[in-house]
C-alpha cells in the first residue's frame, strides 16, 4: 500500500505526459509551417547559422519520436516523421536536437555532466534493483544501502537531464525566431510541442525520486 502511495502520482503523471506528447505532436504535425521548410532543412540551416555545418551531420532514422543528438558521432538524428516533414511539430523537434548540438559546442555544464554520468547510470540502472531485491529478501541493510546509493545515481541523471532538455527547447525557440523560420504566431505552437515533450522528462524525474523515497522509507523502517 505504501508503495502505491509513493508511486501512483508519478505513474499518473507519466501516463498523462505520454498522452500529451503524442497528442500534441500529432496535432501540430497537421499544421504546415509558414516557411515550408522540412525538419532536415531547418536543422541544416541552424547548424550553418551556428558555424557547425562542417562538424555536425544530419541523419534520418526509423520510427516516430526517436529523434536525438549523438554527441559521440556529432550527429543530429531525425525520425521519419520529422526529417522530411514541414510541420510545426517537425521543425520544433529538429530545432530542439540542434539545441543539444549547440549545447555541446558551447560545453554547456549540465550536458557535459550528463555525458559523464551515462556509463555510471547504465550500470546503476541495471544493478540497483537486483541488489535491492536481494538485500530486502535476506534482510541485509548493507546491500539495501548499496542498492539505494546506486539508484541515487539514476535519480541524479534524471535531475541533470531535466535542465538540459529545457535549455535545448529554449535555444530551439530562440534560434527559430531569430533565423526567421517561424512567424510570431507560430512561436506558441512550437512551445506547446516542446513543452509537452519536456513533461515526459519531468514525469521520469518525479518517478525516479518517488522510487528513491520509497526505498529510503523501507531502509529507515528496517533500521528501527
Q: Are 93 and 21 in contact (CB under 8 A)?
A: no
Pairing outcome for strands 68-70 and 57-61:
unpaired
- Give the ranges where 30-78 is alpha helix by DSSP (H): 39-49
Active-site residue, 97 included: yes
Beta bridge pairs of residue 35: none
Nearest to residue 96, comparing CAs of 213, 1, 32, 191? 191
Q: Are 118 and 103 in contact (CB under 8 A)?
A: no
In angstroms, the CA 171 to CA 116 distance is: 22
In angstroms, the CA 191 to CA 184 distance is: 12
User: What helix, strand, coil percent values describe the chain, rounded to 5?
Assistant: 75, 5, 20
> Of 97, 165, 178, 186, which is the active-site residue?
97
C-alpha cell at 139: 534482510
Nearest to residue 169, comparing CAs of 99, 73, 74? 99
Active site residues: 97
Amino acid at each position: 500500500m505504501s508503495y502505491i502511495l509513493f508511486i501512483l502520482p508519478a505513474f499518473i503523471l507519466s501516463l498523462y505526459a505520454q498522452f500529451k506528447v503524442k497528442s500534441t505532436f500529432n496535432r501540430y504535425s497537421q499544421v504546415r509551417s509558414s516557411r515550408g521548410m522540412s525538419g532536415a532543412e531547418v536543422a541544416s540551416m541552424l547548424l550553418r547559422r551556428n558555424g557547425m555545418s562542417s562538424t555536425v551531420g544530419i541523419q534520418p532514422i526509423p520510427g516516430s519520436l526517436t529523434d536525438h543528438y549523438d554527441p559521440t558521432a556529432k550527429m543530429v538524428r531525425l525520425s521519419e516523421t520529422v526529417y522530411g516533414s514541414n510541420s510545426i511539430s517537425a521543425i520544433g523537434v529538429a530545432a530542439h536536437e540542434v539545441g543539444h548540438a549547440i549545447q555541446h559546442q558551447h560545453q554547456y555544464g549540465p550536458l557535459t555532466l550528463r555525458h559523464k554520468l551515462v556509463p555510471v547510470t547504465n550500470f546503476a540502472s541495471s544493478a540497483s534493483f537486483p541488489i535491492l531485491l536481494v538485500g530486502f529478501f535476506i534482510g541485509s541493510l548493507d546491500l539495501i544501502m548499496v542498492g539505494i546509493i546506486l539508484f541515487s545515481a539514476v535519480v541524479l541523471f534524471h535531475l541533470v537531464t531535466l535542465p538540459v532538455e529545457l535549455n535545448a527547447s529554449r535555444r530551439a525557440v530562440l534560434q527559430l525566431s531569430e533565423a526567421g523560420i517561424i512567424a510570431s504566431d507560430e512561436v506558441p505552437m512550437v512551445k506547446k510541442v516542446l513543452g509537452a515533450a519536456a513533461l515526459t522528462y519531468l514525469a521520469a524525474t518525479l518517478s525516479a525520486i518517488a522510487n528513491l523515497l520509497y526505498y529510503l522509507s523501507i531502509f529507515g523502517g528496517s533500521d528501527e
